[in-house]
Amino acid sequence: MKAVIDDAARQPDWVPYLKETRVPHRESDTEALLYSRFNAPWPARDRDFVYQSIVSRGADGVVTYRLRSLQSGLMPPRDEYIRAELMAGEYRLAPLAPNRTRVEFMLHADPRGHLPLWIVNIVERSFPFDALVGLRRVLIRPAEK
């Protein structure tokens, strides 16, 4: 499961609305700068995020990804997208048994720009669930070559 989450090129296969993810800089095996761009329906503009991912493993075997927006000259804002902010994001992968893992996903983001708050709330409420359903779908189906 960690391999699927770590594979930036495959993230659009399971993350809702995601058009692309890139890794402009990898500090170490556990810390990286990522760039993600999300599709927004017309008339809204696509949103993009630049964020840091820090991965840790606890003594209990739980793998935690902590995500937070970061400004970086490697990925300056572009006029065609709105730079959104990821205040906090977290994946927790807790081993339960061989071939069984509990996955928790929390997200707090500000899409910025002019969007009705009710639309933002609908997306933020459904996004983590939809991402977990997509992750499960990718894990169950064999990788397409």
Q: Where are the domains of the chain?
A: 2-140
* pLDDT value of residue 143: 57
Distances in whole angstroms, Cα of residue 138 to Cα of each of 7, 14, 111, 132: 12, 7, 26, 10
* pLDDT value of residue 144: 57
Classified by CATH at the fold level, domain 2-140 comes out as Alpha-D-Glucose-1,6-Bisphosphate; Chain A, domain 4 (3.30.530)
* pLDDT value of residue 8: 95
- Per-residue b/e over 12-31, b at no fewer than 16 CB within 10 Å? bbbbbbbeebbeeeeeeeee
pLDDT mean for each 10 residues of the chain (145 residues): 92 96 96 96 89 98 97 94 96 94 92 84 85 94 61
* pLDDT value of residue 119: 79
The predicted model scores a pTM of 0.89
* pLDDT value of residue 44: 83
Burial class (CB in 10 A: 0-12, 13-18, 19+), 81: middle
* pLDDT value of residue 120: 80
